[in-house]
């Protein structure tokens, strides 16, 4: 067979990108080196890389070279600022001021880092977590959910007993400081089933924002049931969660038909104030759903009015969202919702 038939057609090779290129690079390292890299990644990233490593197991040598070239090219564009910044700053401070003075200053200026307590949760499946906490006190359930990403928390919540779901969300919304020692005990409980004991310095998680984030990821029927029960229990908490579940910026999720229906029900003067504080993408979308004449009129009035009080802008945006909710309740428009609902 001619040598030309065996040659690789480099021009027709598709370059590897994203996780495929990363997988090729990772497979060039030793097991220990690859393990060190994987240990620093998030669970989803590890899974994605794992799939990709199997997919690229039989890549051609030229594809490997292309992946290396991409890495080198990107590496050259990166600066070293940000890599090991904390260690660099601490070292410089110690040399300049001495350990004691440096530590005193660093204690005041170092940004707070997110707690690593219960970090094991992000490696666990929703079913595993639910099985461990389903017989625990609702307060324990609430603490666990508050330490999960909203989508994962919603999945776990859906697997908990129906009779306690509303109570758990209420406790997430009203969750106060949780002691560091209590979080340590929770970690032990999650791994061995040992009951937790509350003590130690507090760590703040939870609140209506986190409760709203969880509710944004549950199914519509579950959302309606829980919110109805919450309203009976505490109207203020329920209203606060509801307000944070759908804010002005979420209006960008509306399609043109629903956006047009909403804008027809909003007073022009109110819209001028509300749009003054909108991000450019949302502003463009809303103006794009109007007639050219109406959109230009609003833009001109916004320019003429100049700076506006932030409180007035926020209040106007709340009124627009309230109108969106009213129209949604009437069935005139559809707002985005969590879960896999279809109509």
DSSP 97-144: H-HHHHHHHHHHHSPP----TTGGGGGS-HHHHHHHHTTS-HHHHHHH
Higher pLDDT, 264 or 116: 264
Given this model, what pLDDT does residue 167 score? 93
Confidence grade of residue 16 (pLDDT, cut at 50, 70, 90): low
CA triple 125-208-120, angle to 5 deg? 25
Q: Tell me: pLDDT of 169 over 90.
A: yes
**Pick from 294, 108, 113, 139: which is nearest to 206 by CA?**
139
pLDDT above 90 as % of the chain:
10
Q: What is the mean pLDDT of residues 135-143?
A: 88
Structure confidence by residue, pLDDT tens digits, 225-282:
999 999 999 999 988 888 788 778 888 888 889 898 998 888 889 999 998 878 888 8
pLDDT confidence tier of residue 334, bands split at 50, 70 and 90: confident
Q: How far apart are CA 161 and CA 130, in angstroms?
A: 10
**Residue 55 parent element (H or E):** helix 43-55
Domain ranges for the chain = 3-77, 119-242, 248-330
Residue in this structure with the two tokens 């029927």, named with its chain if needed? 221
For residue 15, the model assigns a pLDDT of: 62
Question: Does CATH place domain 248-330 in 1.10.1040.10?
Answer: no
A 10 A CB-CB count for 300 gives 11
Query: 49-61 pLDDT, tens per residue?
Result: 777 777 776 777 7
Q: What is the mean pLDDT of the chain?
A: 77
Whose CA is closest to 304, among 314, 296, 292, 293?
A: 296
Q: What is the mean pLDDT of residues 115-131?
A: 74
Quote the distance between the C-alpha of residue 6 and its chain's center. Answer: 49
248 token code pair? 């002005």
pTM here is 0.51
Mean pLDDT value of segment 136-153: 87
Among 42-46, 79-83, 257-261, which range has the highest average pLDDT? 257-261
pLDDT at 337 exceeding the cut of 80: no
The more confident residue out of 297 and 193 is 297
* Burial (Cβ within 10 Å: 0-12, 13-18, ≥19) of residue 82: exposed
Tell me the pLDDT tens digit for each residue of 178-235: 777 777 777 777 766 444 444 443 455 678 888 888 888 888 889 889 999 999 999 9
Question: What CATH number should be reported for the domain whose range is 119-242?
Answer: 1.10.220.30
Nearest-angstrom CA–CA distance, 210 and 307: 32
Averaging pLDDT over each range in 10-14, 247-251, 339-343, which range is the top one?
A: 247-251
pLDDT of residue 37: 79
Q: Report the C-alpha gap between 93 and 103 in whole angstroms.
A: 8
High-pLDDT (> 70) share of the chain, % = 79
Please determine whether the domains at 119-242 and 248-330 fall in the same fold group of CATH.
yes
């Amino acid at each position: 067979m001619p040598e030309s038939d065996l040659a690789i057609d480099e021009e027709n090779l598709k370059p590897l990108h994203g996780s495929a290129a990363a997988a090729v690079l990772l497979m060039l390292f030793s097991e220990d080196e690859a393990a060190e890299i994987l240990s620093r990644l998030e669970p989803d990233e590890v899974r994605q890389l794992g799939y990709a490593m199997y997919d690229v197991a039989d890549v051609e040598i030229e594809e490997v070279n292309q992946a290396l070239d991409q890495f080198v090219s990107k590496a050259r564009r990166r600066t070293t600022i940000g890599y090991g910044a904390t260690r660099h700053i601490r070292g410089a401070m110690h040399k300049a001021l001495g350990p004691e003075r440096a530590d005193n200053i660093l204690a005041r200026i170092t940004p707070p880092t997110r707690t690593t307590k219960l970090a094991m949760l992000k490696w666990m499946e929703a079913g595993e977590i639910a099985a461990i906490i389903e017989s625990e006190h609702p307060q324990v359930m609430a603490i666990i959910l508050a330490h999960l990403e909203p989508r994962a928390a919603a999945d776990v919540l859906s697997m908990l007993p129906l009779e306690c779901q509303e109570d758990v969300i209420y406790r997430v919304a009203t969750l106060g400081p949780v002691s560091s020692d209590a979080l340590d005990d929770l970690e032990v409980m999650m791994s061995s089933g040992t009951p937790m004991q509350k003590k130690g310095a507090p760590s703040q998680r939870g609140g209506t924002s986190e409760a709203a984030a969880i509710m944004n990821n549950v199914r519509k029927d579950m959302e309606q049931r829980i919110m109805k029960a919450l309203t009976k229990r505490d109207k203020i908490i329920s209203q606060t969660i509801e307000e944070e579940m759908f804010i002005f910026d979420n209006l960008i999720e509306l399609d043109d038909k629903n956006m047009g229906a909403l804008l027809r029900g909003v007073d022009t003067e109110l819209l001028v104030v509300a749009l003054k504080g909108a991000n450019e993408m949302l502003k463009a979308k809303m103006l794009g759903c109007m007639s050219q004449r109406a959109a230009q009129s609003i833009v001109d009035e916004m320019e003429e009015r100049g700076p506006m009080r932030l409180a007035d802008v926020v209040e106007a945006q709340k009124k627009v969202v309230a109108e969106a909710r009213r129209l949604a309740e009437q069935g005139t428009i559809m707002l985005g919702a969590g879960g896999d609902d279809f109509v």
